[in-house]
Amino acid sequence: MNIYDLSYDELMDWLAKLGEPKFRAQQVWNWLYTKYVTEFAEMRNLPKSLIEELEETAVIHNATIASEQHSSDGQTKKVLFQLPDGQFIETVLMRYEKRRTLCISTQAGCAMGCVFCATGQMGFFRNLTVSEIVAQVLYFAHELAQTGEHVTNIVMMGMGEPLHNYNNTLTAVDRLTDETGFNLGARKITISTVGLVPAIRRYADEQRQTPLAISLHAATDAERDKLIPINHRWPINDLIEACHYYIEKTGRRLTFEWALISGENDTIEQARALGNLLQGMLCHVNLIPLNPTAGYSGGPSSKERVDAFQAELANFGVSSTVRVRRGIDIQAGCGQLRDRVVGGQ
């Protein structure tokens, strides 16, 4: 059993079954979520017999580190974890000014098949468990703590589609924002979705504080169908309706992601169509020049095209930020773990 899978109540029940007094749960919880220990033996205020019992029946981290890469400026670090069943997932730490942002994975592979995305190109393997999502964060929290730093932001922009693994992803968010534990502000976690309409509506109904980003990438169905296969199932109008519903329900601003692909979705026509779509909406657009991947021939837009695209959006009163790409030299393997999330906005 992985101990990060347990909620506080479940931990309490479990320790009670082992015959432990009530206050043990609090002790173990603190070690896990405020001290980020990686071994039960580090839980110094527990009796030795309990530590042994924990070691026999549970694990804290069960992934191994398959590789580690640092960007040339040293600000970005990517870790490839291997899970016990052999699956690989990636987590990226990005340092930018005072921010320490983690880009985490929610699935091994992805079923959505977006043509420009390295994860989409590899296909779907499986959902990550709650503990596999949480462990990525705690691993880096532990590492950052060694230098007195801490995780300030999380983006669910690693491998996988978070809303396709809805329950585990949101349970992990709840775990990480628990005030008695890791206590990260809900607004510091961004969930990025390719646009699963029913899940967006469910998310809106749950009135969650965690910001949402929508990977739009095209403003006409003809163009989006080519890039994002699930657009056939939930075309742009349905998606935008769900976005309006979300804003109405939550009063929150939405972010739209747009990877600019040279000669593809970076035309003035697309910018106009996007302007028309988003005009008057409580939203912001992140423009990210495409990160080329092996399985897709498209390339990033030139600076002139990016500027022209942004200027056209501004004509519609739609605000946008061009994301700087830091750590690009370590090619976060899922092809999308970029610094879209740091700087600006």
Catalytic center residues:
90, 334
Widest pairwise Cα distance in the chain:
69
Q: Would you count residue 110 as binding ligand SF4 (CB under 6 A)?
A: yes
Binding region for ligand SAH (CB under 6 A) out of 28-36, 54-62, 109-117, 312-320: 109-117
Q: Would you count residue 117 as binding ligand SF4 (CB under 6 A)?
A: yes
Helix H or strand E encompassing 92: strand 88-96
Q: Would you count residue 333 as binding ligand SF4 (CB under 6 A)?
A: no
Estimate to the nearest angstrom the gap between the alpha carbon of 19 and the chain centroid.
38
> Alpha carbon of 230 to those of 6, 122, 209, 235, 314: distances in Å?
33, 16, 26, 8, 29
Q: Give min distance, CB of 317 to ligand SAH, in A.
A: 23
- Structure tokens that stand for 210 in this block: 């965690």
Q: Would you count residue 271 as binding ligand SF4 (CB under 6 A)?
A: no
Instruction: State how beta strands 212-215 and 189-193 pair.
Output: parallel
> Alpha carbon of 48 to those of 43, 54, 263, 332: distances in Å?
10, 10, 64, 42
Q: Would you count residue 293 as binding ligand SAH (CB under 6 A)?
A: yes
Q: Would you count residue 105 as binding ligand SF4 (CB under 6 A)?
A: no
DSSP string, 254-280: EEEEEEEBTTTT-SHHHHHHHHHHHTT
Which of ligand SAH, ligand SF4, none interacts with 15 (beta carbon under 5 to 8 A by kind)?
none
> Alpha carbon of 151 to those of 24, 34, 138, 339: distances in Å?
26, 12, 9, 15
Helix H or strand E encompassing 24: helix 23-33
Q: Give min distance, CB of 155 to ligand SF4, in A.
A: 12
The answer to whether 84 and 63 have CB atoms below 8 angstroms apart is yes
Q: Which of 76, 101, 165, 193 binds ligand SAH (CB under 6 A)?
A: 193
Per-residue binding letters, 210-249, with ligand SAH (x by CB under 6 A): -----x----------------------------------
Which of ligand SAH, ligand SF4, none interacts with 71 (beta carbon under 5 to 8 A by kind)?
none
Q: Would you count residue 265 as binding ligand SAH (CB under 6 A)?
A: no
Binding region for ligand SF4 (CB under 6 A) out of 33-41, 45-53, 110-118, 182-190: 110-118
Q: Which of 95, 254, 336, 342 binds ligand SAH (CB under 6 A)?
A: 336
Which of ligand SAH, ligand SF4, none interacts with 332 (beta carbon under 5 to 8 A by kind)?
none
Q: Would you count residue 259 as binding ligand SAH (CB under 6 A)?
A: yes
Q: Give min distance, CB of 110 to ligand SF4, in A.
A: 3
Measured from the CB atom, the residue of 108 and 112 that comes closer to ligand SF4 is: 112
The answer to whether 43 and 37 have CB atoms below 8 angstroms apart is yes
Chain position carrying tokens 């969930």: 191
HEC string of 238-253 equals HHHHHHHHHHHHHCCC
Q: By three-state DSSP, how is residue 8 classified?
A: helix
Q: Give min distance, CB of 7 to ligand SF4, in A.
A: 27
Q: Which of 93, 120, 125, 197 binds ligand SF4 (CB under 6 A)?
A: 120
Please report, as residue ranges, which positions from 144 to 203 form the binding site for ligand SF4 (by CB under 6 A): 160-161, 194
d(CA 32, CA 5): 12
The answer to whether 283 and 255 have CB atoms below 8 angstroms apart is yes
| Chain contacts with ligand SF4 (rule: CB under 6 A) | 110, 112-114, 117, 119-120, 160-161, 194, 215
| Chain contacts with ligand SAH (rule: CB under 6 A) | 114, 116-117, 157, 161, 192-194, 215, 257, 259, 288, 290-291, 293, 335-336
